[in-house]
Structure 1
Amino acid sequence: MKVFPRRRGAVLVNSALGVALLGAAALAYTVLDDGTGTAAAKAPVRTATVTKGTVLATVSGTGTLASPTDAAQDFTTGGRLTAVKVAVGDTVTKGQVLATVDTTAAQQQVDAAQAALNTATVNLAKARAGVTTTTVQQLPARANGSSGTSGSSGAGGSGGRGADGSSASAPQADQPAAAGPSATADPSAQTSPSARATVPAATAGVPEPQTTTITTTKVDDAAVAQAEQQLATAQTNLANAQAALAGTTLTASVDGTVASVAGRVGDTVGSTGGSSSSSAGAKSSTGASSAPSGFIVLTNPTGMQVTANFSELDSLKLKKGEAATVTLNAQSDSRFNASVLSVSPLPVSGSGGGSAAVQYAATLQLSGDTGKLRTGLSATVSVVTGEADDALSLPTAALSGTGASRTATVVHPDGSTERVTVEVGVEGDTTVQVVSGLAEGDKVELASTSGSNGFPNGSFPGVNGGQGGNGNRGGGTGTGGAGVAGIGGAVGAAGGAGGTGAGRGGGR
């Protein structure tokens, strides 16, 4: 066959490129097989040694600081502010007067309640005294055994008793009076026959009537009960009025530092501390540890606590009394020891809805000097939920499986390996406690983290490098793909060259 000059040149070029391509492929195979393959085969086995130490299992959460003695101070009786005796930053003691409101209306209520109590006291005394009635009653007549009679005459006889019962001696009409020094010769001194009449029987025998005075008192029980009820009501009203009067003075309920004041003299405040010109900060609706709000807020860093949120899985591991470490987010070098006080059985408000993860709040008590801390500082909490001291341990990655029973590959000094069962205890963050199955000093094989051929992604670098160019039968020029750096780049370059040659020879 006769070969034209143009075609002869194309054949020569293609032949040269084909030889170059085959050489590059052979070189790549040789390098990969002798280099990486051999290196992978001879790679040393990674092991971990069983040692003794402390294994800690912890769970973490985030929260904010708050003092249990932080308190909002509010008036119990509203009114117009007449005095505000403190300012932000002042240190106050329990019982100290902070502010006052006008007492006019409250004092009037006390006076009215006192007057009502006085009236009720008098009414009760009258009801208990009852109504007294006095009556005069005649006693029955009693018989009298003696009565006045006339005397009889006779020798040596004595005179009869008079009407009054006394003994009397009456001279006889036919006998003169006895002579004596005191005798009277006047004839008119003689008693006439008519003068000897006796006292009428009706007057001398019937005694005078006797009378007695009877006094009775009647008490109405219903009236007494009503008066007692009115007295009790009056006493309650007076106590309430006195409390309202006392409520016009606002005093500190705890020792602390004034954090905020929500009013000034002349403002009108209510019993909840709201002011007509300014209002106290609103409480947060997302957490129980938000700062309190009131007319005056007192804060005290003594006994500072932190309320942190934990995932639902971690919250199940929390128990009262567990030790913890609190780190301030603003000062990572400031760490405080703490202990769990309580774990809420209810989820945090707002969690659990939609795709949000459920969280539960736990309150922890900080120990040490917390005098420089402030309410509201954010912190990270790490709680120790399990601890094993002086225990055998090794990295968690050296064991396979889950639960209390797992497996490990022990590497013996002669290089041989053995698969054993390992019982584990406390599972820490990076290590696990070995209860049985391994001894101190044993070497355990770690799982390999590289690919089967020695490369992390399991493929050769640049193997998918350049692709050959496409020839154009119309005589166009093909373009070679750019090879990735490395051996694949060389292969790609060769492929690109082949495409160029094919393009050139395709047209007629």
Structure 2
Amino acid sequence: MKVFPRRRGAVLVNSALGVALLGVAALAYTTLDDGGDRQTAKAPARTATVAKGTVLATVSGTGTLASPTDAAQDFTTGGRLTAVKVAVGDTVAKGQVLATVDTTAARQQVDAAQSALNTAQVNLTKARAGVTTTTVQQLPAKSAAAGAGSAAGSAGGGTAGRGAGGSSASAPQADPSAQTGPSAQAAVPAPQAVAPEPQTTTITTTKVDDAAVAQAEQQVATAQTNLANAQAALTGTTLTASVDGTVASVSAKVGDTVGTTGGGSTTAKSTSSGTGAPSGFIVLTNPTGMQVTANFSELDSLKLKKGEAATVTLNAQSDTKLDATVLAVSPLPVSGSGGGSAAVQYAATLQITGDTTKLRTGLSATVSVVTGEAGDALSLPTAALSGTGASRTATLVHPDGSTERVGVGVGVVGDTTVQVLSGLSEGDQVELASTSGSNGFPNGSFPGANGGQGGRGAGAGAGSAGVAGVGGVAGGAGGAAGGAGAGRGGGR
């Protein structure tokens, strides 16, 4: 092929420019890459110093405030309201009258029950007395005759005695006429037998029916129970405060008809699904003894123990922090948790200490419980240790810059720091885990990427030089340099 002199010159110029651009690109890539390596090598390692401090391990939960003395006040006897003696905001004392309902029906029941009891007691008295029977019986005849004979003998003996005695006494003055003949003895009549009167005796008998007595006793007992119930119903027409507190709500007015709860009052029970505030005809609140019931994850709940210290932060007042202690941890999961994809949670009740007068039932709060604490202990940031459990490892940095992997015994594992028990001393420098860019390289850039951009820029600049073909060659050279840079960066 025949080459014209002018065209031959252009080819030579283009070739020389291409070779020059390839050299420049190679030099630029080498310089940038080596500079990056030197920068990476010179970057100092991040370290932490073993120092003394307090290590705290905490778990957190959320819940609501409630007072155990909050109570709903309801009548035990329903009816038409005749008086409401308190209003919202009033302070009341235990036993104070809050309201009354009509007593007419209750009093009638008391009167009827009392009358029934009186009748039952009379019947019981009669049953216990039994039935008394009186009979008159005549004594046997033989006994009557013997009694008459004894009486006659006694009369005759008395006459003879008197005769004998008279004869002895009158002997010195004897009557001559009495001795003249037997007619004197004939003048004394002989005693006559008298028929005895009939003898009788009276017999009284009492018969008690045990079955009748038992029945009467049962009737009395039933009447007493009915009277007690009627009296309690009459008492229940007056509603009194079961606790000290402040009236939070009154749900009815005079003339309204109110129902009953059977118990008279209910106290607040704090739950995870509600505020824990009670509801009733009248609700009393009392911030004294305020508590908080919070829910914790199943893992954190296993770390909770009675008596552990806690901090309560009100969600509505983040600057208000209250001290508290754990009272109890429920062994049962919170209702509704654990089903489907929901995480299992357990409730813990904590007693708030300090001034609670400004607190209100239902306020939401975040609870942080201290589950572990080590004071004046050697500690390190958690990021300085590798592994899990009580034995871990760390990279110890010596004063000369050399490093050594050592075993470390740990105690309390806190939220951000770990207690060091062995393996390190106060003042030791320990290397922290390095942080990396988003793409895995220390400075976040990809080696060779800038070289490729430079190559493309060089090609574009050369192409605009105005020499046909020279820009094309230069651009090809720049692209090749950029590709080579990218390849080296990717290999690393």
How far 1:27 moved relative to its partner?
2.3
Distance 2:122 2:64 in 1: 61
Query: What is the match of residue 41 of structure 1?
Result: 41
How far 1:2 moved relative to its partner?
6.1
Distance 1:409 1:19 in 2: 49
Query: What is the match of residue 234 of structure 2?
Result: 245
- AA paired with 1:125? T
Deviation readout 1:117-147 (Å, 9 max, x if unpaired): 1111111111111111111122232412353
Query: What is the match of residue 287 of structure 1?
Result: 273
Which deviates more from structure 2 when the two are superposed, residues 11-20 or residues 235-244? 11-20
Contact 2:133–2:204 (CA under 8 A) maintained in structure 1: yes
Distance 1:303 1:236 in 2: 39
Query: What is the match of residue 124 of structure 1?
Result: 124
Query: What is the match of residue 250 of structure 2?
Result: 261
Task: Flag the 1:313–1:218 CA change in 2: closer, same or farther, 3 A.
Answer: same
Deviation readout 1:179-206 (Å, 9 max, x if unpaired): xxxxxxxxxxxxxx9x9986754xx2x4
Contact 1:409–1:419 (CA under 8 A) maintained in structure 2: yes
Contact 1:324–1:382 (CA under 8 A) maintained in structure 2: yes
SS state of the match for residue 215, structure 1? strand
Task: Flag the 1:150–1:371 CA change in 2: closer, same or farther, 3 A.
Answer: closer
- AA paired with 2:225? T
- AA paired with 1:241? A
How far 1:458 moved relative to its partner?
5.0
Task: Flag the 1:226–1:21 CA change in 2: closer, same or farther, 3 A.
Answer: farther
Alignment of 1:79 with 2:79, yes or no, is yes
- AA paired with 1:253? S
Give the unaligned 5+ runs of structure 1.
Answer: 161-170, 179-192, 274-279, 464-485
Deviation readout 1:75-94 (Å, 9 max, x if unpaired): 11111112212111111111
Alignment of 1:360 with 2:346, yes or no, is yes
What TM-score, normalized by structure 1, do the two folds share? 0.77
SS state of the match for residue 392, structure 2? strand
Distance 2:243 2:308 in 1: 30
Alignment of 1:207 with 2:196, yes or no, is yes
How far 1:250 moved relative to its partner?
1.1
Task: Flag the 1:19–1:118 CA change in 2: closer, same or farther, 3 A.
Answer: farther
Query: What is the match of residue 30 of structure 1?
Result: 31
Contact 1:461–1:488 (CA under 8 A) maintained in structure 2: no
- AA paired with 1:65? L
Query: What is the match of residue 417 of structure 1?
Result: 403
Task: Flag the 1:313–1:229 CA change in 2: closer, same or farther, 3 A.
Answer: same
Point out which structure has higher relative CO (alpha carbons under 8 A, 6+ apart): 2
Task: Flag the 1:446–1:238 CA change in 2: closer, same or farther, 3 A.
Answer: same
The partner residue of 1:394 within 375, 380, 383 is 380
- AA paired with 1:234? A
Map 1:318-329 → 2, pairs under 5 A: 318-329=304-315
Alignment of 1:349 with 2:335, yes or no, is yes
The partner residue of 1:310 within 296, 318, 324 is 296
Which deviates more from structure 2 when the two are superposed, residues 372-381 or residues 94-103? 94-103
Query: What is the match of residue 475 of structure 1?
Result: none
The partner residue of 1:446 within 428, 432, 442 is 432
Contact 1:25–1:491 (CA under 8 A) maintained in structure 2: no
- AA paired with 1:235? Q
Query: What is the match of residue 446 of structure 2?
Result: 460
Contact 2:127–2:208 (CA under 8 A) maintained in structure 1: yes
Deviation readout 1:384-441 (Å, 9 max, x if unpaired): 1011112111111111100011111111112222211111111000111111111111
Distance 1:59 1:114 in 2: 63
Distance 1:134 1:453 in 2: 123
Larger fraction in helix: 2
Contact 2:66–2:270 (CA under 8 A) maintained in structure 1: no
How far 1:286 moved relative to its partner?
4.5
Task: Flag the 1:351–1:157 CA change in 2: closer, same or farther, 3 A.
Answer: closer
Distance 2:113 2:11 in 1: 124
Task: Flag the 1:452–1:239 CA change in 2: closer, same or farther, 3 A.
Answer: closer
How far 1:26 moved relative to its partner?
4.4
Task: Flag the 1:420–1:77 CA change in 2: closer, same or farther, 3 A.
Answer: same
How far 1:453 moved relative to its partner?
10
Query: What is the match of residue 89 of structure 2?
Result: 89
Alignment of 1:233 with 2:222, yes or no, is yes
Contact 2:63–2:272 (CA under 8 A) maintained in structure 1: no
- AA paired with 2:128? R
What TM-score, normalized by structure 2, do the two folds share? 0.79
Give the aligned length: 440
Task: Flag the 1:116–1:422 CA change in 2: closer, same or farther, 3 A.
Answer: same
Task: Flag the 1:63–1:457 CA change in 2: closer, same or farther, 3 A.
Answer: farther
SS state of the match for residue 222, structure 1? helix
Alignment of 1:145 with 2:146, yes or no, is no
The partner residue of 2:412 within 426, 439, 445 is 426
Task: Flag the 1:257–1:138 CA change in 2: closer, same or farther, 3 A.
Answer: same
Contact 1:37–1:453 (CA under 8 A) maintained in structure 2: no
Distance 2:443 2:276 in 1: 50
- AA paired with 2:216? A
Give the unaligned 5+ runs of structure 2.
Answer: 167-176, 473-492
Give identity over the alignment, percent.
Answer: 77
SS state of the match for residue 145, structure 1? helix
Contact 2:29–2:448 (CA under 8 A) maintained in structure 1: no
SS state of the match for residue 121, structure 1? helix
Task: Flag the 1:323–1:159 CA change in 2: closer, same or farther, 3 A.
Answer: closer
How far 1:31 moved relative to its partner?
2.0
SS state of the match for residue 147, structure 1? helix
Distance 1:123 1:85 in 2: 45
